[in-house]
Amino acid sequence: MFNSLFRLLDNSYFPYTMKSKNLDAAVKEAFPELTKKYGEDVEISLNLTMVPNNTATPIQFKTESGIVLGSLDDVSTTVSILCSNSEVQMEEALVFGMNMEAQGNFTMKELVFYPNVDAVIVQNARVKKAHVQVKTQDFNKLFTEMLKEESESFNAKWVKGWSVASIDPSLAMITGLLKNTTMTPYVMDKFMYAGFGMQADLPTGT
């Protein structure tokens, strides 16, 4: 179900745009050639696209590593570095190809969701297209560290979780009907475990 949804969302969800002050600073430090071309006030963003092949399973559930997005073998990831300044907007400067795998968790407890990224692994990173000449370096290490910093910022943002009551405060009443709502990938390989109890199921006798 999750993999089918992933493929349906492919055109509407991807490319996924990543933009933050930390990411902007990291890209400028890694590729000083960008500021030489676009100026010190250039704003950097990254577009990320994941393309599974015909046999790939882009989303996996594993008891040891939790939810695994992507693959080091079967899913190709493209990262485009886009630059904006007073003259251009979101201009493609560099395009990288790589294999990326993100491991994390999406536990739910009492209708509060707790997303967390545990690790990001990058392999086979290489330049696919360059509108700006950059020096060759260890791109695997570069993108691994860059995405690790973004993961840490993501985890800090959602450390207290996200409640369904954020959509509508009245939804908080559901917790009175559904007891012990739980969701976790750490129970059985290939399955996301989820369940709840109903208030009406509680015994009425002593």
Split at pLDDT 50, 70, 90, the class of 38 is very high
174 found inside a domain: no
Q: Is residue 163 part of a domain?
A: no
User: Confidence band (pLDDT; 50, 70, 90) for 98?
Assistant: very high
Measured CA to CA, the distance from residue 176 to residue 164 in angstroms comes to 13
- Helical spans, DSSP H, in 49-121: none
Which residue range is the domain that position 147 belongs to? Answer: 2-103+118-157
For the chain, strand residue ranges (E) read 16-18, 43-52, 59-62, 66-70, 75-84, 91-109, 112-130, 162-163, 178-188, 191-198
Domain count, the chain: 1
- Tell me if 44 is assigned to some domain: yes
Q: Specify if 16 maps to a domain.
A: yes
Q: Could you count the other beta carbons within 10 Å of the beta carbon of residue 43? A: 15
The answer to whether the Cα torsion of 183, 188, 190, 196 is positive or negative is: negative
pLDDT of residue 7: 58
In sequence order, the β-bridge partners of residue 16 are 48
Residue 64: strand, helix, or coil: coil
User: Does the structure show a pLDDT above 60 at 9?
Assistant: no
Q: Is 205 within the bounds of a domain? A: no
The verdict on residue 133 lying in a domain is: yes
In a domain, 92, yes or no: yes
Q: Does 142 fall in a domain?
A: yes
